[in-house]
Amino acid sequence: MNIAPHSSLPPVTLILGGARSGKSRYAELLVEAVGGGVYLATATVEDNEMAERIRQHRQRRGQRWTTIEEPLEILTALQTHASPERPVLLDCLTLWLSNIMAADRDIEHETKILAEGLGRLKGPVVLVSNEVGLGLVPTTPLGRTFRDHAGRLNQAVAGVADRAVFVAAGLPMTLKETTP
């Protein structure tokens, strides 16, 4: 997978894509290209299948990464771990959204606080999120609510991001590139 033409990380990068699109691997390559970083994982182990997915992700990353698991307080974790020397890769925003929905938190407030806080981090951050609005309309009210919140979350983060990339079939397409 090609990460050119970018050789450095802007303050906030958003990587979007569908399931198994290559978005996480692309995000990892971006951070590895500048020497590696902290992997902020939002997934929680709810069943054996998810445990296996997490194991595979860790195995693929290897020892180059410091992994922090934080399912809810991601802005605090980003503030703690982002530094100019060590960027943070957050994977993924849609799992975080699921977590805050399950915790019955105010999603609009959480989204606003996150978007506002991203510009105040001490180092670069790469955020991964699923684009769930390209498929069929979910058949359940919860599914439609999740899709709507995910769309608004992605828009809020893309609005403050310096770079936004959509990955499909392992191919990155730059949607937004803000130059300093």
6 classed as catalytic: no
pLDDT surpasses 60 at 108: yes
Which amino acid, one-letter code, is at 137?
V
| pLDDT at 1 (0 to 100) | 57
Q: Which residues are bridge partners to 127 per DSSP?
A: 14, 90
pLDDT one-digit tens code per residue, 59-68: 777 677 888 9
Q: Is residue 114 very low, low, confident or very high in pLDDT (cuts 50, 70, 90)?
A: very high
Mean pLDDT of 93-102: 97
Task: Please identify which of the residues 6, 57, 81, 149 carries the catalytic annotation.
Answer: 57
Instruction: Count CB-CB contacts under 10 A for residue 44.
Output: 14
The domains located in the chain, with CATH, are 12-177 (3.40.50.300)
Share above pLDDT 90 across residues of the chain, in percent, rounded to a whole number: 74
- Cβ(129)–Cβ(14) below 8 Å: yes
According to DSSP H, which parts of 46-140 are helical? 48-61, 74-81, 93-102, 107-118
Cβ–Cβ under 8 Å, residues 160 and 142? no
**How many other CB atoms are there within 10 angstroms of residue 78's CB atom?**
24
